[in-house]
Amino acid sequence: MLKKTVLLSLFTLISASAMAQTNTTPVYLDESKPVEQRVQDALSRMTLEEKIAMLHAQSKFSSPGVPRLGIPEFWTTDGPHGVRPEVMWDEWDQAGWTNDSIIAYPALTALSATWNKKMSWNYGRALGEEARYRKKDILLGPGVNIYRTPLNGRNFEYMGEDPYLTSKMVVPYIQGVQSNGVATSVKHFALNNQEMFRHTSNVIVDDRTLYEIYLPPFKAAVTEGDSWTIMGAYDMYKNQYASQNKFLLNDILKGEWKYKGVVVSDWGAVNNTEQAIQNGLDVEFGSWTNGLSAGTRNAYDNYYLAKPYLDLIKSGKVGTVELDDKVTRLLRLAYKTTMNTKKPFGNIASEEHKAVAKEIGEEGIVLLKNQGNILPIDLNKTKKIAVIGENAIKVMTVGGGSSSLKVKYETLPLDGIKARFGKNSDVQFARGYVGDVGGEYNGVKSGQDLKDNRSPEELLNEAVELAKNSDYVIFVGGLNKSDFQDSEGNDRKSYGLPYNQDNVISALAKANKNFTVVLVSGNAVAMPWIKDVPSVVQGWYLGSEAGNSIASILSGDANPSGKLPFTFPVKLEDNSAHAMGEYPGNKEELAAGKGKDQKNPINIKYNEGIFVGYRWHDTKKIKPLFSFGHGLSYTTFEFGKAKADRISMTQNDKITFTVTVKNTGKKAGAEVAQLYISDVKSSVERPAKELKGFEKIFLNPGEQKEVSFTIDKTALSYFDIQKHDWVAEPGDFEAQIGNSSDAIKTKIKFTLK
Ligand code: BGC
């Protein structure tokens, strides 16, 4: 009896402990455990095949998790300006969902033109909320490739020519997106500064230029912004493709910058298994494999980091150290995104999102010229308004490549102008010219029929007639998102405006002196008519609220405060990549037909070095059409005399400059105080000055505020190639503060000991 009882209780004890064991949450799912411990636990439970599966796509935009362990798959999405519509599992065609339309935010050039870090955070948070609601885990953006030439078809997706401005603007965007439990994928790392030959070129750039100009935004994105992923580029550097590049990924990103996140390939940027394994890539997307099914369907097993990798491991040719490192990084990402139980739920098209899009548009628009203050438009004197130009009626959110969107709505400039001015004035439209009548990208249709069979003369005559009979003429033109304009995959063919627009603008300028040109573009353009046109507005691609943002500025409801994030040269040859560097590649190689395919890549040498954008114009005294940092307001500002808290500093000191800015006009507005540093005498060649601080200040009429900038030796340093480090050379420097790179209002000298 006793024996039986003991046995029974022993049995109960054993089964209870077995029960307790089955009820115990495994460490990888236990939220009370530190993430690194959970990662290691998950890793220890995975089979070799499960690990390999995580390293490559399973569809156009997703990669597997670990189904057996309940670790979810990752869903990625383009792009920088809004959440891309759903495509089919295996094809680029539309999936045909009816619940995937979203708000389009202004293009990144416009965001950058706000020079307002707060706007960048608002942008990131709102976009991240939409991505989250659409159940995305990784947003493929933002893009921070530096603006080297105005011909680059993808400049509209980037943040301009200055590494400092881009670095400061990209960080809050990343933080805003990631506050939703959605990762950013800052792209395209690195040196993808043109679209022509993007798959078939090798960039040759010296270390100083690489570190001073092209790398800083990426470094800021991962070290300050903590972007959880980064996307490799298509082009080659040191004759190795960027997405599997030892120098960029292992040495710089994961070595020097100690990056712990995930390196994602660009879509189809991988072409070598061993390099992909060894050189720092973590997950491969979009490959067009040469497997049996030739990359059309179900070719995922043929990806470079799929079966070929598995075979190498099984045959003992490569070990599993790299494999475990890659999987570890992906698991870490999972705990921040897919397995993060604390992330918010997100939302789409809230009133707040619309307001964010509109406000960024208003703050990003740049008033380039306003002779005779003909803007804002005086409603009392303006009974008849002529709106002329195709971009007043053209949908711009469809097209341009992977950043193309399917929007809930897009307010066109003509509609925005009618809505704002229509009550007081008669608003009439004339086309003026025919540009691109297309309106489809990957099966998303703009729904517009823009065909017009009239001759250029007929169109022009109609426009001029209307202009003559109106009180005010607004021309809305520029570029668009069709091939060879502002669009991925190709570069622009020339610097001038396309489709006879120069002639139309000149004729309109003669017909009516109350004339404003609004340019919708993501790039600088030539303006041979600039002397005859009293007022010019840089309107960018502004997304869902485009027309409303533009109307706000034209009416004066919003006071323009945008500043150019890149220089507008007078002519293409004034740009340094065209004057000094190679574009679209080495001339002799170009003539020999290089660049046609990956077997015959073309070299592109960045001979202009660090002299990119205003660094070139300033140093060589080449007057631009409009300079970096330029942008007017409807009010006026006065800068006081700059003061410094010391005039001499050591390598460990900080120095603070202060300046007062006063609104001396009659309208509330915002000014951007810009700090440039100039090295008075240096042992190496340096740009005349470089941006090292900026602050946007909002001021009521008569109001004055003090702005201060604190810098340390990093703002004075150049990259020393021999030392492979930053060096601040003792000597005299000058702090120059103004409201544009060509409008310095106050200077102050100081010395570094
Ligand atoms: C582009 C990337 C994009 C990817 C996925 C590539 O062609 O370069 O920017 O994120 O496609 O659409």
Of ligand 1's atoms, which has the minimum distance to the CA of residue 157?
A: 9
Q: What would the mean pLDDT of 483-488 be, rounded to a whole number? A: 98
Do 267 and 415 fall within a single domain? no
pLDDT tens-digit map of 344-353: 999 999 999 9
**13 pLDDT exceeds 50?**
no
Is 155 domain-assigned?
yes
Q: Residue 19's pLDDT is what?
A: 44
Q: Count CB atoms within 10 A of the CB of residue 713.
A: 18
Q: Is 199 in the pocket of ligand 1 (CB under 6 A)?
A: no
Residue partners of 349: CB distance under 8 A and separation at least 6: 102, 103, 130, 408
Stated pTM of the model: 0.96
Asked whether the beta carbons of 649 and 753 are under 8 A apart, the reply is yes
Asked whether the beta carbons of 80 and 141 are under 8 A apart, the reply is yes
Confidence of residue 288 (pLDDT cuts 50, 70, 90): confident
* Mutation probe of ligand 1 site: the residue of 192, 195, 266 with most atoms within 8 A of C-beta: 266
Q: Is 78 in the pocket of ligand 1 (CB under 6 A)?
A: yes
**Strand residues in 65-222 grouped as ranges (E):** 74-77, 138-139, 183-189, 201-204
Residue nearest (by alpha carbon) to ligand 1 atom 7: 267
**358 pLDDT exceeds 50?**
yes
Q: DSSP readout, 451-488?
A: -----HHHHHHHHHHHHHTSSEEEEEEE--SSTTSS-T
Q: DSSP readout, 291-334?
A: STTTTTSS-GGGSTTSHHHHHHHHTTSS-SHHHHHHHHHHHHHH
Is 535 domain-assigned?
yes
First-residue to last-residue Cα distance in the chain: 93
Active site residue 266: yes
Q: Residue 635's pLDDT is what?
A: 98
pLDDT tens-digit map of 509-561: 999 999 999 999 999 999 999 999 999 999 999 999 999 999 999 999 999 99
Do 131 and 159 fall within a single domain? yes
- Ligand 1 centroid to residue 231 C-alpha, Å: 9
Q: Residue 91's pLDDT is what?
A: 85
Q: Residue 57's pLDDT is what?
A: 96
Asked whether the beta carbons of 731 and 686 are under 8 A apart, the reply is no
Do 370 and 317 fall within a single domain? no
pLDDT tens-digit map of 364-395: 999 999 999 999 999 999 999 999 999 999 99
At residue 155's C-alpha, the angle toward residues 85 and 206, to 5°, is 125
Of ligand 1's atoms, which has the minimum distance to the CA of residue 192?
A: 8
Q: Which one, of 662, 515, 672, 518, lies nearest residue 118 by Cα?
A: 672
- Ligand 1 centroid to residue 230 C-alpha, Å: 12
Confidence of residue 127 (pLDDT cuts 50, 70, 90): very high
Q: Is 140 in the pocket of ligand 1 (CB under 6 A)?
A: yes
3-state SS, residue 603: strand
Residue nearest (by alpha carbon) to ligand 1 atom 5: 267
Q: What would the mean pLDDT of 482-490 be, rounded to a whole number? A: 98
Is 279 domain-assigned?
yes
Q: Distance between CA atoms of 414 and 389, rounded to whole angstroms?
A: 10
Confidence of residue 640 (pLDDT cuts 50, 70, 90): very high
**295 pLDDT exceeds 90?**
no
Q: Residue 7's pLDDT is what?
A: 47
Of ligand 1's atoms, which has the minimum distance to the CA of residue 79?
A: 10
3-state SS, residue 69: helix
Q: Is 266 in the pocket of ligand 1 (CB under 6 A)?
A: yes
Q: Is 241 in the pocket of ligand 1 (CB under 6 A)?
A: no
Provide the CATH number for the domain around residue 746: 2.60.40.10
Is 4 domain-assigned?
no
Of ligand 1's atoms, which has the minimum distance to the CA of residue 141?
A: 10
Asked whether the beta carbons of 570 and 624 are under 8 A apart, the reply is yes
Residue nearest (by alpha carbon) to ligand 1 atom 8: 266
Do 126 and 251 fall within a single domain? yes
Give CA 323 to chain center in angstroms: 31
Instruction: Indicate which residue of 162, 266, 415, 618 is catalytic.
Output: 266
Residue nearest (by alpha carbon) to ligand 1 atom 2: 266
Q: Which one, of 441, 437, 365, lies nearest residue 403 by Cα?
A: 441
Angle between helices 35-45 and 321-336 (to 10 degrees): 130
Q: Count CB atoms within 10 A of the CB of residue 174.
A: 28
Domain boundary among 514, 548, 564: 564
Confidence of residue 9 (pLDDT cuts 50, 70, 90): low
Confidence of residue 25 (pLDDT cuts 50, 70, 90): very high
Token match 């544009």: residue? 740
Do 328 and 371 fall within a single domain? no
Range of the domain at 208: 33-85+102-336
- Residue 330, CA atoms < 13 Å, CB-side half-sphere: 32
As a whole number, the mean pLDDT across the chain is: 96
Provide the CATH number for the domain around residue 288: 3.20.20.300
Q: Distances from the Cα of 514 to the Cαs of 381, 417, 625, in angstroms?
A: 11, 16, 22
Q: Residue 79's pLDDT is what?
A: 86
Asked whether the beta carbons of 271 and 221 are under 8 A apart, the reply is no
Residue nearest (by alpha carbon) to ligand 1 atom 9: 402
Q: What would the mean pLDDT of 229-254 be, rounded to a whole number? A: 98
Q: Distances from the Cα of 270 to the Cαs of 221, 235, 446, 697, in angstroms?
A: 23, 11, 33, 45
Q: What would the mean pLDDT of 197-209 be, rounded to a whole number? A: 98
Residue nearest (by alpha carbon) to ligand 1 atom 6: 267
Q: Is 285 in the pocket of ligand 1 (CB under 6 A)?
A: no
- Ligand 1 centroid to residue 286 C-alpha, Å: 9
**621 pLDDT exceeds 70?**
yes
Q: Which one, of 77, 76, 75, 95, lies nearest residue 86 by Cα?
A: 95
Of ligand 1's atoms, which has the minimum distance to the CA of residue 198?
A: 8
Domain boundary among 564, 580, 595: 564
Q: Is 679 in the pocket of ligand 1 (CB under 6 A)?
A: no
Is 341 domain-assigned?
no
Q: Residue 12's pLDDT is what?
A: 46
The token pair that represents 438 in the structure block: 């297309």
Do 132 and 220 fall within a single domain? yes
Is 166 domain-assigned?
yes
Domain boundary among 336, 363, 391: 336
Q: Is 187 in the pocket of ligand 1 (CB under 6 A)?
A: yes
Q: Distance between CA atoms of 167 and 172, rounded to whole angstroms?
A: 10
Q: Which one, of 481, 403, 367, 399, lies nearest residue 435 by Cα?
A: 481
Is 26 domain-assigned?
no
Q: Count CB atoms within 10 A of the CB of residue 131.
A: 29
Q: Is 611 in the pocket of ligand 1 (CB under 6 A)?
A: no
Window from 7-16, 32-41, 57-66, 270-279 with minimum mean pLDDT: 7-16
Do 301 and 375 fall within a single domain? no
What would you report as the CA-atom Rg of the chain, rounded to the nearest whole angstrom?
A: 28
The token pair that represents 598 in the structure block: 């990956």
Do 386 and 308 fall within a single domain? no
Q: What would the mean pLDDT of 244-248 be, rounded to a whole number? A: 98
Which residue type sits at 200? T
Do 226 and 198 fall within a single domain? yes
Q: Is 267 in the pocket of ligand 1 (CB under 6 A)?
A: yes
3-state helix, strand, coil in the chain (%, to 5): 30, 20, 45
Helix (H) or strand (E) holding 531: none
Q: Distance between CA atoms of 396 and 394, rounded to whole angstroms?
A: 6
Residue nearest (by alpha carbon) to ligand 1 atom 12: 402
Q: Residue 610's pLDDT is what?
A: 98
pLDDT tens-digit map of 418-429: 999 999 999 999
* Mutation probe of ligand 1 site: the residue of 59, 62, 78 with most atoms within 8 A of C-beta: 78
Do 453 and 555 fall within a single domain? yes
**45 pLDDT exceeds 70?**
yes
Do 231 and 314 fall within a single domain? yes
Q: Which one, of 569, 583, 581, 578, lies nearest residue 622 by Cα?
A: 569
Do 266 and 223 fall within a single domain? yes
Is 693 domain-assigned?
yes
Domain total of the chain: 3
Share of the chain above pLDDT 70, in %: 96
